[in-house]
Structure 1
Amino acid sequence: MFWKFDLHTTSHIDTLLEKEDVTLTEVMDEDDVLQECKAQNHKLVDFLLRPQCMEDLVTFITQEPSTDVEEKVKYKYPNISCELLTSDVSQINDRLGEDEKLLMKLYSFLQNEPPLNPLLASFFSKVLSILIGRKPEQIVDFLRKQEDFVDLMIKHIGTSAIMDLLLRMLTCIEPQQLRQDVLNWLNEEKVIQRLVEMIQPSQDEDRHSNASQSLCEIIRLSRDQMFQVQGSSEPDPLLSTLEKQETVEQLLSNIFDKEKNESAIVSVIQILLTLFETRRPAFEGHMECPPGMSHPSFSVNHSILEAVRPRLKDFHQLLLEPPKKNMMKTTWGVLDPPVGNTRLNVVRLVASLLQSNTHSINTELINLNTLGVILDMYFKYIWNNFLHIQVEICTAMILAMPPAPIDIQPDTEAEHVKESILIKHLFQKCQFIQRIIDAWSSNEKEQAEGGRRRGYMGHLTRIANSIVHNCDKGPNGPQIQQLISELPAEDREKWESFISGQLADTNKRNTVDLVNTHHIHSSSDDEVDFKESGFHQDSSLQQAFSDYQMQQMTSNFIEQFGFNDEEFADQDDVVDWLLNLARCKEKIQQFEDAGSDEDDIWDEKDVTFAPEAQRRPSSGSTDSEESTDSEEEDVKRDQFEASNPSNDDRMEVDTDCDGWLGTSVASPAASAPSDCGSSKAEEEASSSEHRSITETVINGSMKETVSLTVDAKTETAVFKRFENHLHTKELRFRLMVMRVVPVPVGIL
């Protein structure tokens, strides 16, 4: 339609470019200049490739705009210039990447004194990053010729865009050999050591943060690359330098041998946590690497642990005397001092060190009683859930980890500790059990006096459950049981009373029963299990409802089927109706037992139907051959011919079954009346789409009258039984339940 009426418009740029004296700014003022450039408008691309235009475009993104320019348009042209240069037009990439004069003009931006304009820095970084991706050989060769490139990158590392550019050089260079050359070049320029030097108290927070983030990303990117290219014979030189013991020692010296600076301390801890990562982020949820993965970069380097171990006393001291922080007023009271970012990250570091499960590290932590200090913080700062989760991780690992191997000499045989020294320390020195019981009792006392529940109680519940679980099923179960048995009799009795009383009650409250009955429950494959409800496995009712999820019906049926609030006030009303299914047990069982000696009454050969006009009295018996013949004749005449419905065709159920529908199953396609008093006109209106035929089935001494309603549109059939009318509210709910599962005609 658009092209048929020739509604497309020609860009004004084409007309503008026909002027001999057109300027770059005039072209950039056009609203569609970027779209036309990306569409590779030949006139526009040729204009932009002019030497003066290319030089002006680079100038816009490397020089500060004039101060007399209005603020709202101050960065208009630099922004458009950046978009034009990065529009991925090959001719523009070629001209910019091959013209050394233009590259020098672009590179001159790094030679400005810090701090750089962050917006212009982002433009510069984007353009150079695109060139690195499109023209890696030319750009790498150009940068290596600039002797001050690495110096300038480190000098401006406080600007995030420059940090991004450095990381871009590690990720966007595709040829593997070229990337390896770049890594070797950067390592020779001591980029790792220079970044480490940036993380010390004399530098500002931006430098701390960006240098730390750069080192963390180098670690992750290098490990990912080594994972992807496992056949590479050359190791990553930057990662190898970072994992050296002297590099880690220099990091720790920067923060401990000088004044305490929270920003520097946190930045160093972030690097250590990244070095301690023993698995790639892509394998979240797994404690180990994929099968067959044994690359050394995926395990904690022993040299890192050796560098950290002598400094554990300094980290411990940070827990006792963190960098000075001002008093903090909160809605819950005054924190003096608050936990602070330093102590929180030290606890995270301890959790990571515990995961390495190194005997020398564990012994040092025990000697310092670091775990006792961490527990003191846990119970003191009752509202700091960031702290609580880290303490929970620490205790969970101690309880679940096997004993750490003892440090051995090369000429001795390997032996392992039979018992965990951490667990022994936790239960004896830290009085783990007693502190849990005391904290729980203190919280209950405060709540009884009108106070609020403490913020760590959820984590404390999980910690207590972890003790119980590992005591019974964990690898350290016997040791935990022994330590509990060695507790003073009073404490042991309190613990046993606690786990059987308060803890059990809490766990019970935390367990949500979606349907509060043992008769109806969800099976492992999210289907309703009828075995405990008394339904025969081969019954038609069980077959009809086997795919129905009772949980979803309970929670959604009021909204889904539009019942009024007066009819079903809450979910308890729904559950009450569902319980009718269980109360129907005896009636259904009697019905099945009556036919147990004979063939299934619902089997195809035993259930036959006659046309409405030839219906026999309900007391008569059924002759299978005659019924089959008459049914075939009826199908030949008109399979879905409208019949004259009578009052007997209205939905009725067996009320002897506590109001349940017994063996009736309804299709979603069936039009069920909203109440038992629906008008004759409504039944006649639906007769054109439904055909109802009834028949009497004799099974031994029992007689059952059933009706089959066939829907021509949906090809579904509905069984009905006729006896007594239902209350309107009951019928509406049961019709809803019956509409859940369609019964295809082919299975009847």
Structure 2
Amino acid sequence: MFWKFDLHTTSHIDTLLEKEDVTLTEVMDEDDVLQECKAQNHKLVDFLLRPQCMEDLVTFITQEPSTDVEEKVKYKYPNISCELLTSDVSQINDRLGEDEKLLMKLYSFLQNEPPLNPLLASFFSKVLSILIGRKPEQIVDFLRKQEDFVDLMIKHIGTSAIMDLLLRMLTCIEPQQLRQDVLNWLNEEKVIQRLVEMIQPSQDEDRHSNASQSLCEIIRLSRDQMFQVQGSSEPDPLLSTLEKQETVEQLLSNIFDKEKNESAIVSVIQILLTLFETRRPAFEGHMECPPGMSHPSFSVNHSILEAVRPRLKDFHQLLLEPPKKNMMKTTWGVLDPPVGNTRLNVVRLVASLLQSNTHSINTELINLNTLGVILDMYFKYIWNNFLHIQVEICTAMILAMPPAPIDIQPDTEAEHVKESILIKHLFQKCQFIQRIIDAWSSNEKEQAEGGRRRGYMGHLTRIANSIVHNCDKGPNGPQIQQLISELPAEDREKWESFISGQLADTNKRNTVDLAFSDYQMQQMTSNFIEQFGFNDEEFADQDDVVDIPFDRISDINFSLNTNESANIALFEARCKEKIQQFEDAGSDEDDIWDEKDVTFAPEAQRRPSSGSTDSEESTDSEEEDVKRDQFEASNPSNDDRMEVDTDCDGWLGTSVASPAASAPSDCGSSKAEEEASSSEHRSITETVINGSMKETVSLTVDAKTETAVFKRFENHLHTKELRFRLMVMRVVPVPLVVLCPSVPLLMLHHIVCLPELITAV
């Protein structure tokens, strides 16, 4: 259609470029300059390739705009220049990558003093990154000639765009050999050591964060490359330098041998967590791990663990004395001190160290009682779910991991510990079972007194379930069973009572489906029987007891009282909206949309409704019934029959508010009395098919009292199990959902009525 009607507009750039004195800014002011450039408009590309234009484009992205320029257009030309230079036009890439003068002008941006303009830095980084990808040999050769390149990169590492440029050099260079040469060059320039030096208290937070992120990405990228290129003969020199024991020791020395600085501490922990990362296997069907735990495809470098082990006491001390944090007021209360980012990351580090399952590390953690301190924090900070999930991961791994092998000593063979020293420490020293029971009981007491449920209860439930699971099926099951049996008799009884009572009930509630389960069906049946006093035999298996009457249903009164003005207005509004006739009765003059009074014939004048005995016939007519209006005029030719969907086997849904008062009704009135009722009592009788049985329902609407009353149910219900169904007819446009408070059938999941009638939920 676009081309059919010739709606495209002709670019003014061609006309503009015909001027002899046209300037670059005039061309850049054109709205479609970028589109024309990407479409490789020959006139435009030739114009941009002029030496002066190329130099001006580079100048725009490397020099600060004049302060006199209005702020909203201050970076207009630098932005457009960046887009033109990175528009993937090969002629522009060739000219910029091969002209050393232009490259030097571009490179001069790094020689500015920090901090760099972050927007210009992003333009510079984008242009140079594109050149690295398009012209890797030329750009790498140019950068290696600049002796201060690595120095300047480290100097400006606090600017995120410069950090991105460094990482692009590790990922965008496609030839494998050239990439290896770049890695060797950067390693010779000691880029890893220089980044490590940036993470110390004397530097600012931006340098901490970006240097840490750079080292983390180098680790991940190098390991990814190792897995992708299996036949690579040369190891990654940057990764090897990072995994050296002296490198890790230098990182730890930066944060522990100087003043405490949270930013530096967190940045170093992030690097350690990346070094401890393991990978999941690529095949399916592997054994399920505890939360946060993965199957290692390679072990953590032993030199890293050896560097960390002597510093565990320093990390433990951070849990006891973190960097000073100001008191924090929350909606729950005052936190003095709050958990803080430092302690949270120390707990994450402990979880990673536990995953390595190293005997020397485990022994040191036990000697320091680090797990006991972490559990103290768990129960103290009841609303910090970041902390709770890490503690859950720690306990899950301790319970699920096999015992750690003892460190191999010279001239000895490796042997394995038969029992987990961590589990023994957890159950005996940390009193794991007792603390769970005490916390649970304390929470229930607070809730009984009107308090709130503690924030860690969900995690505590999973921790308790992990104990039960590993006790029965885990690799440490016999040891856990033995430790539980050694508990004092009182604690052991409390635990057994807890797992069979409170924990089991909680699990049952947590595993209930959205649909009604058998347990919910039993509960609702029980509640119904308790309120209405049915005998058990009335709910017996109907295969054995076919003739049990269901007459007590007649004692249930559904009364709708709409004396309140709001309900009256609602009733009238729904009537006006829903009882309009959609048949013009052959008259062209009558407007079917005009509001008219609707009159109802007495029951005797209405055509009797005949329920079909064939369930298939009822089903086939459902589509027609849905389209039929709730009320129809009293026309002898019209079929007033309203079929009811009898496939509603399920119990009727959840509870609703029921402000209406119950009005007495004579549920045993005879059919003759119903036919003798005045026109003010509008009665409709329907026969509902239920398998091979019939069920008659009579609904009477009293216009004076404005109440809707179910008169009686006749015959029997025949079902294999109890499926008590209250069929609300689609015949009365009143909020039938407003039920009597005394009626327990506040279950409306399968109620057979139009959605618009359910107006008072």
Alignment TM-score > 0.5, same fold: yes
Match of 1:556 among 513, 527, 543: 527
| Alpha-carbon shift at residue 165 of structure 1 (Å) | 0.2
Q: Aligned in 2, Cα 1:265/1:502: closer, same or farther, shift over 3 Å?
A: same
Q: CA RMSD in A?
A: 13.4
Asked if the contact 2:383/2:456 (under 8 Å) is kept, the reply is yes
Question: For 1:358 and 1:510, how far apart are their aligned partners in 2?
Answer: 36
Residue by residue, what CA displacement relative to the aligned partner does 1:161-205 show, whole Å, maximum 9, x if unpaired?
Answer: 000000000000000000000000000000000000000000000
Asked if the contact 1:222/1:236 (under 8 Å) is kept, the reply is yes
Question: For 2:639 and 2:458, how far apart are their aligned partners in 1?
Answer: 61
Asked if the contact 1:618/1:705 (under 8 Å) is kept, the reply is no
Q: Aligned in 2, Cα 1:734/1:254: closer, same or farther, shift over 3 Å?
A: same
Residue by residue, what CA displacement relative to the aligned partner does 1:520-563 show, whole Å, maximum 9, x if unpaired?
Answer: xxxxxxxxxxxxxxxxxxxxxxxx99999999999999999999
Residue by residue, what CA displacement relative to the aligned partner does 1:489-548 show, whole Å, maximum 9, x if unpaired?
Answer: 1111111111111111111121214xxxxxxxxxxxxxxxxxxxxxxxxxxxxxx99999
Q: Aligned in 2, Cα 1:274/1:670: closer, same or farther, shift over 3 Å?
A: farther
Asked if the contact 1:216/1:274 (under 8 Å) is kept, the reply is yes
Residue by residue, what CA displacement relative to the aligned partner does 1:425-474 show, whole Å, maximum 9, x if unpaired?
Answer: 00000000111111111111111111111111111111111111111111
Question: Number of residues paired by the alignment?
Answer: 712
In structure 1, what is the equivalent of residue 493 of structure 2? 493
In structure 1, what is the equivalent of residue 545 of structure 2? 574
| Alpha-carbon shift at residue 298 of structure 1 (Å) | 3.4
| Alpha-carbon shift at residue 411 of structure 1 (Å) | 2.2
Question: For 2:83 and 2:475, how far apart are their aligned partners in 1?
Answer: 60
Asked if the contact 2:358/2:404 (under 8 Å) is kept, the reply is yes
Asked if the contact 1:251/1:268 (under 8 Å) is kept, the reply is yes
Question: For 1:632 and 1:454, how far apart are their aligned partners in 2?
Answer: 51
Asked if the contact 2:156/2:162 (under 8 Å) is kept, the reply is yes
Question: For 1:5 and 1:601, how far apart are their aligned partners in 2?
Answer: 45
Question: For 1:465 and 1:123, how far apart are their aligned partners in 2?
Answer: 54
Q: Aligned in 2, Cα 1:193/1:719: closer, same or farther, shift over 3 Å?
A: farther
Asked if the contact 2:293/2:393 (under 8 Å) is kept, the reply is no
With 718-727 and 671-680 compared, the bigger mean Cα shift is at: 671-680
Q: Aligned in 2, Cα 1:483/1:705: closer, same or farther, shift over 3 Å?
A: closer
| Alpha-carbon shift at residue 3 of structure 1 (Å) | 3.1
Paired residue secondary structure (2:499): helix
Paired residue secondary structure (1:693): strand
Asked if the contact 1:583/1:657 (under 8 Å) is kept, the reply is no
| Alpha-carbon shift at residue 47 of structure 1 (Å) | 0.2
With 279-288 and 402-411 compared, the bigger mean Cα shift is at: 279-288
Asked if the contact 2:604/2:675 (under 8 Å) is kept, the reply is no
With 614-623 and 480-489 compared, the bigger mean Cα shift is at: 614-623
Paired residue secondary structure (1:567): helix
| Alpha-carbon shift at residue 2 of structure 1 (Å) | 3.3
With 45-54 and 281-290 compared, the bigger mean Cα shift is at: 281-290
Paired residue secondary structure (2:36): helix
Q: Aligned in 2, Cα 1:85/1:737: closer, same or farther, shift over 3 Å?
A: farther
Paired residue secondary structure (1:719): strand
Could you list the runs of 4 or more consecutive aligned residues of structure 1 that deviate by over 6 angstroms after TM superposition? 280-297, 544-575, 579-744
| Alpha-carbon shift at residue 414 of structure 1 (Å) | 1.8
Asked if the contact 1:27/1:33 (under 8 Å) is kept, the reply is yes
Asked if the contact 1:668/1:739 (under 8 Å) is kept, the reply is no
Question: For 2:577 and 2:68, how far apart are their aligned partners in 1?
Answer: 93
With 630-639 and 52-61 compared, the bigger mean Cα shift is at: 630-639
Paired residue secondary structure (2:180): helix
With 441-450 and 230-239 compared, the bigger mean Cα shift is at: 441-450
Q: Aligned in 2, Cα 1:379/1:626: closer, same or farther, shift over 3 Å?
A: closer
Q: Aligned in 2, Cα 1:689/1:597: closer, same or farther, shift over 3 Å?
A: closer
| Alpha-carbon shift at residue 4 of structure 1 (Å) | 3.7
In structure 2, what is the equivalent of residue 610 of structure 1? 601
Q: Aligned in 2, Cα 1:22/1:349: closer, same or farther, shift over 3 Å?
A: same
| Alpha-carbon shift at residue 299 of structure 1 (Å) | 2.4
Residue by residue, what CA displacement relative to the aligned partner does 1:361-418 show, whole Å, maximum 9, x if unpaired?
Answer: 0000000000000000000001100000000000000001000001122421221000
Residue by residue, what CA displacement relative to the aligned partner does 1:33-59 show, whole Å, maximum 9, x if unpaired?
Answer: 000000000000000000000000000
Normalised by the length of structure 2, the TM-score is 0.69
In structure 1, what is the equivalent of residue 462 of structure 2? 462
Q: Aligned in 2, Cα 1:182/1:49: closer, same or farther, shift over 3 Å?
A: same
With 691-700 and 723-732 compared, the bigger mean Cα shift is at: 691-700
Question: For 1:325 and 1:510, how far apart are their aligned partners in 2?
Answer: 38
Asked if the contact 1:266/1:341 (under 8 Å) is kept, the reply is yes
With 625-634 and 19-28 compared, the bigger mean Cα shift is at: 625-634
Question: For 1:447 and 1:666, how far apart are their aligned partners in 2?
Answer: 25
Q: Aligned in 2, Cα 1:641/1:159: closer, same or farther, shift over 3 Å?
A: closer
**Structure 1 stretches of 5 or more lacking a match?**
514-543
More helix as a share of residues: 1
Normalised by the length of structure 1, the TM-score is 0.70
Asked if the contact 1:396/1:466 (under 8 Å) is kept, the reply is yes
Residue by residue, what CA displacement relative to the aligned partner does 1:118-177 show, whole Å, maximum 9, x if unpaired?
Answer: 000000000000000000000000000000000000000000000000000000000000
**Structure 2 stretches of 5 or more lacking a match?**
547-569, 736-760
Asked if the contact 1:115/1:156 (under 8 Å) is kept, the reply is yes
Question: For 1:416 and 1:590, how far apart are their aligned partners in 2?
Answer: 86
With 156-165 and 726-735 compared, the bigger mean Cα shift is at: 726-735
Asked if the contact 2:125/2:165 (under 8 Å) is kept, the reply is yes
| Alpha-carbon shift at residue 9 of structure 1 (Å) | 2.0
Q: Aligned in 2, Cα 1:708/1:314: closer, same or farther, shift over 3 Å?
A: closer
Paired residue secondary structure (2:647): helix
Question: For 1:100 and 1:126, how far apart are their aligned partners in 2?
Answer: 18
| Alpha-carbon shift at residue 712 of structure 1 (Å) | 46
Q: Aligned in 2, Cα 1:217/1:720: closer, same or farther, shift over 3 Å?
A: farther
Q: Aligned in 2, Cα 1:652/1:206: closer, same or farther, shift over 3 Å?
A: closer
Question: For 2:604 and 2:429, how far apart are their aligned partners in 1?
Answer: 92
Q: Aligned in 2, Cα 1:345/1:686: closer, same or farther, shift over 3 Å?
A: farther
Asked if the contact 1:96/1:103 (under 8 Å) is kept, the reply is yes
Question: For 2:88 and 2:268, how far apart are their aligned partners in 1?
Answer: 39
Question: For 2:710 and 2:449, how far apart are their aligned partners in 1?
Answer: 62
Residue by residue, what CA displacement relative to the aligned partner does 1:577-600 show, whole Å, maximum 9, x if unpaired?
Answer: xx9999999999999999999999
With 623-632 and 456-465 compared, the bigger mean Cα shift is at: 623-632
Question: For 1:94 and 1:305, how far apart are their aligned partners in 2?
Answer: 49
Question: For 1:637 and 1:584, how far apart are their aligned partners in 2?
Answer: 15
Paired residue secondary structure (1:656): coil
Question: For 1:135 and 1:715, how far apart are their aligned partners in 2?
Answer: 85
| Alpha-carbon shift at residue 419 of structure 1 (Å) | 0.3
Asked if the contact 2:539/2:722 (under 8 Å) is kept, the reply is no
Q: Aligned in 2, Cα 1:550/1:234: closer, same or farther, shift over 3 Å?
A: farther
Q: Aligned in 2, Cα 1:76/1:498: closer, same or farther, shift over 3 Å?
A: same
| Alpha-carbon shift at residue 641 of structure 1 (Å) | 31
Q: Aligned in 2, Cα 1:409/1:24: closer, same or farther, shift over 3 Å?
A: same
Residue by residue, what CA displacement relative to the aligned partner does 1:695-720 show, whole Å, maximum 9, x if unpaired?
Answer: 99999999999999999999999999
In structure 1, what is the equivalent of residue 173 of structure 2? 173
| Alpha-carbon shift at residue 325 of structure 1 (Å) | 0.5
Question: For 2:381 and 2:620, how far apart are their aligned partners in 1?
Answer: 85
Asked if the contact 1:610/1:631 (under 8 Å) is kept, the reply is no
Residue by residue, what CA displacement relative to the aligned partner does 1:265-304 show, whole Å, maximum 9, x if unpaired?
Answer: 0000000000000116999997899999999983211110
Asked if the contact 1:666/1:738 (under 8 Å) is kept, the reply is no
Question: For 1:49 and 1:26, how far apart are their aligned partners in 2?
Answer: 16
Q: Aligned in 2, Cα 1:124/1:667: closer, same or farther, shift over 3 Å?
A: same
Matched, 1:231 2:231: yes
| Alpha-carbon shift at residue 5 of structure 1 (Å) | 3.9
With 657-666 and 131-140 compared, the bigger mean Cα shift is at: 657-666
Asked if the contact 2:542/2:720 (under 8 Å) is kept, the reply is no
Asked if the contact 1:691/1:710 (under 8 Å) is kept, the reply is yes
Paired residue secondary structure (1:157): coil
Q: Aligned in 2, Cα 1:569/1:219: closer, same or farther, shift over 3 Å?
A: farther
Q: Aligned in 2, Cα 1:66/1:502: closer, same or farther, shift over 3 Å?
A: same
Q: Aligned in 2, Cα 1:486/1:58: closer, same or farther, shift over 3 Å?
A: same
Residue by residue, what CA displacement relative to the aligned partner does 1:587-637 show, whole Å, maximum 9, x if unpaired?
Answer: 999999999999999999999999999999999999999999999999999
| Alpha-carbon shift at residue 8 of structure 1 (Å) | 2.5
Q: Aligned in 2, Cα 1:716/1:116: closer, same or farther, shift over 3 Å?
A: farther
In structure 2, what is the equivalent of residue 346 of structure 1? 346
Asked if the contact 1:652/1:723 (under 8 Å) is kept, the reply is no
Higher relative contact order (CA 8 A, sep 6+): 2
